[in-house]
């Protein structure tokens, strides 16, 4: 194991991925492709203990996500306990299953913040991308959230199939009274990587979308903050993934496996502890999984001698593994990476005018089992 470079501070964020169950089937879902292998879920008591231990460690923000966290019928209990412990609480949801009664219960539990995801400004694309009929329902949920005085925080994943609608997406957010809109270009992991040929926009599409967003930013500056997140493939710079490995985020997956990001479990040769067997203190400070890629000591060339190594920490370990089959490699989005050709080829493919004719793969437990050879 490599020694971490600096003393380890506490996690800021505890991310509770309370379930992988989800009524939607998004083609860009960040859940691991093999999520169906991990169907077990922690009990309410286990989650309550995790919340408690996370707060003792020093975490100040707690995000409830999934899958769709609303499918846990103990969510109110978990939110209330998180709030009682002093966390700032955040629910990350598609809104499917959110009723007036449930929202009232979340309000009573003290929930601070709801992030509602939308797929598009049109019913056709929303319903197509999620394989559901949920467009109107999401609009209603937006109104219900707003009516209870929460800030309206919307998130839309941007890709080739909706990037041309960006102006209408911003208009829709404005009509719903959004105070904050995150236009997050798809990151190509998990399901989005499977569908990358169909989802990745061309440079010109991206340039236009950014220009339209800038116009709207100026027009709505008084009432909405808009964040446009450029895909790292196009930026040509590795990102400081998760703000540094084991630096800010501690993610607990539905079955209790603790990881520094959503998908680290797939990395070969690493062992990630389960919170049913280990305390969060052990997980964060002692475990091999959390220590392995902390700091810069693990790096090989070209990262080891790179002047930016303290800025980007070599980029994303999961992306290095997915694209270069080597989790120790420089993130292939970096032009200095010996594996950069994988990213260059994907970008080149996205420049072709004709859309890919490959069928999209929708996130679904059956598909997950097929893809990991269980069917």
Question: Could you list the residues that contact ligand FES (CB under 6 A)?
Answer: 241-242, 261, 263-264, 316-318
β-bridge mates for residue 15, sequence order: 63, 251
Closer to ligand FES by Cβ: residue 72 or 317: 317
Closer to ligand FES by Cβ: residue 186 or 241: 241
Closer to ligand FES by Cβ: residue 55 or 265: 265
Closer to ligand FES by Cβ: residue 258 or 261: 261
306: annotated binding-site residue? Answer: no
For the bound state, the minimum distance from the C-beta of residue 241 to ligand FES, rounded and expressed in Å, comes to: 3
CA-angle at 164, arms to 161 and 165, nearest 5°:
95
Cα–Cα dist 13/26, whole Å: 25
For the bound state, the minimum distance from the C-beta of residue 74 to ligand FES, rounded and expressed in Å, comes to: 28
End-to-end CA distance of the chain: 36
For the bound state, the minimum distance from the C-beta of residue 217 to ligand FES, rounded and expressed in Å, comes to: 28
241: annotated binding-site residue? Answer: no
For the bound state, the minimum distance from the C-beta of residue 170 to ligand FES, rounded and expressed in Å, comes to: 28
**Cα-based torsion angle of the residue sequence 66, 239, 216, 112 in order, rounded to the nearest 10 degrees:** 40
Closer to ligand FES by Cβ: residue 78 or 316: 316
Tokens representing residue 155 in the block: 């998130």
Tokens representing residue 360 in the block: 């999209």
For the bound state, the minimum distance from the C-beta of residue 44 to ligand FES, rounded and expressed in Å, comes to: 28
Are 153 and 115 a contacting pair, CB within 8 Å?
Answer: yes
Task: Report CA 93 to chain centroid distance, whole Å.
Answer: 12
Residue 212 has φ and ψ, to the nearest 5°, of -65, -40
Backbone φ/ψ region at 107: left (φ over 0), alpha (ψ -120 to 50), beta: alpha
Closer to ligand FES by Cβ: residue 134 or 263: 263
For the bound state, the minimum distance from the C-beta of residue 320 to ligand FES, rounded and expressed in Å, comes to: 8
Q: Where are the alpha helices (DSSP H) in the chain?
A: 44-57, 75-85, 100-109, 123-130, 135-147, 166-175, 190-194, 196-199, 203-219, 232-235, 280-281, 288-291, 309-312, 317-324, 340-351, 365-371
Closer to ligand FES by Cβ: residue 235 or 351: 235
Cα–Cα dist 128/234, whole Å: 26
Q: What is the crossing angle of helices 100-109 and 75-85, to 10°?
A: 20
For the bound state, the minimum distance from the C-beta of residue 63 to ligand FES, rounded and expressed in Å, comes to: 15
Annotated binding residues: 22, 26, 29
Annotated binding residues for [4Fe-4S] cluster: 22, 26, 29
């Amino acid at each position: 194991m490599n020694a971490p470079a600096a003393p380890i501070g506490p996690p800021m964020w505890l991310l509770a991925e309370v379930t992988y169950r989800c009524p939607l089937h998004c083609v860009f879902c960040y859940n691991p492709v093999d999520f169906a292998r991990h169907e077990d879920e922690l009990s309410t008591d286990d989650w309550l203990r995790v919340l408690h231990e996370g707060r003792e460690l020093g975490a100040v923000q707690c995000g409830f996500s999934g899958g769709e966290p609303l499918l846990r019928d103990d969510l109110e209990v978990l939110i209330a306990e998180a709030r009682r412990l002093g966390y700032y609480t955040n629910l990350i949801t598609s809104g499917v299953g959110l009723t007036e009664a449930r929202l009232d219960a979340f309000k009573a539990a003290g929930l601070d913040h709801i992030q509602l995801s939308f797929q598009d400004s049109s019913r056709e694309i929303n319903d197509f991308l999620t394989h559901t009929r949920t467009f109107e329902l999401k609009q209603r949920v937006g109104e219900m959230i707003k009516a209870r005085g929460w800030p309206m925080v919307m998130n839309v994943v941007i890709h080739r199939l909706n990037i041309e609608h960006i102006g209408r997406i911003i208009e829709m957010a404005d009509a719903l009274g959004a105070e904050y809109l995150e236009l997050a270009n798809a990151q190509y992991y998990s399901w989005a990587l499977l569908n990358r040929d169909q989802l990745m926009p061309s440079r010109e599409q991206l340039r236009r979308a950014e220009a339209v967003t800038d116009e709207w930013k100026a027009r709505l500056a008084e009432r909405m903050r808009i964040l446009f997140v450029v895909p790292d493939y196009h930026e040509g710079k590795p990102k400081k993934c998760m703000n540094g490995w084991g630096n800010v985020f501690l993610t607990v997956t539905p079955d209790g496996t603790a990881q520094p990001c959503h998908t680290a479990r797939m990395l070969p040769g690493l062992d990630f502890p389960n919170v049913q067997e280990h305390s969060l203190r052990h997980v964060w400070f002692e475990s091999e999984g959390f220590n392995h890629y902390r700091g810069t000591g693990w790096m090989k060339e070209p990262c080891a001698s790179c002047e930016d190594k303290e800025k980007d920490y070599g980029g994303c370990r999961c992306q290095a593994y997915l694209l270069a089959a080597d989790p120790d490699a420089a993130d292939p989005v970096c032009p200095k990476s010996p594996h950069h050709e994988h990213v260059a080829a994907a970008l080149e493919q996205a420049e072709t005018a004709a859309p890919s004719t490959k069928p999209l793969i929708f996130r679904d437990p059956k598909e997950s089992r097929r893809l990991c050879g269980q069917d």
